[in-house]
A = this chain, B = another copy of it.
Amino acid sequence: MKVVVVDDDKLVGVSLKTILEASGEVQVVGIGCSGQDAIDLYRHHKPDILLMDIRMSSMSGLDAAEIILASDPAARILFLTTFSDDEYIIRALKMGARGYILKQNYESIVPSLKAVYNGQSVFGDDIVSRIPDMLQKNRKPDFSKYGISEKEAEIIALVAEGMNNKEIASALYLSEGTVRNYLSVILEKLQLRDRTQLAVFYYKNQ
Chain A residues at the B interface, C-beta cutoff of 8 Å: 90, 93-96, 98-99, 101, 105, 107-108, 111-112, 114-115, 117-125, 128-129, 131-132, 134-138, 159-162, 164, 192-197, 199-201, 203, 206
Contacts and interface: CB of A to CB of B under 8 A. Distances in A.
A121 B193 CA distance: 41
13 contacts: A93-B132, A95-B132, A108-B120, A111-B112, A111-B117, A114-B114, A115-B122, A120-B124, A120-B125, A131-B131, A162-B200, A195-B196, A196-B199
Nearest to A112: B115
Given A111-B117, A203-B206, 16 more contacts: A90-B132, A99-B128, A108-B114, A108-B120, A119-B125, A120-B122, A120-B123, A120-B124, A121-B128, A123-B123, A131-B135, A134-B137, A159-B196, A164-B193, A196-B196, A199-B200
Contacts of A135: 90, 93-94, 131, 134
Q: How many copies does the complex hold?
A: 2
Among A99, A131, A193, chain B packs the most CB atoms within 10 A around the CB of: A131
Contacts of A128: 93, 98-99, 121
A3 B150 CA distance: 40
A135 B162 CA distance: 23
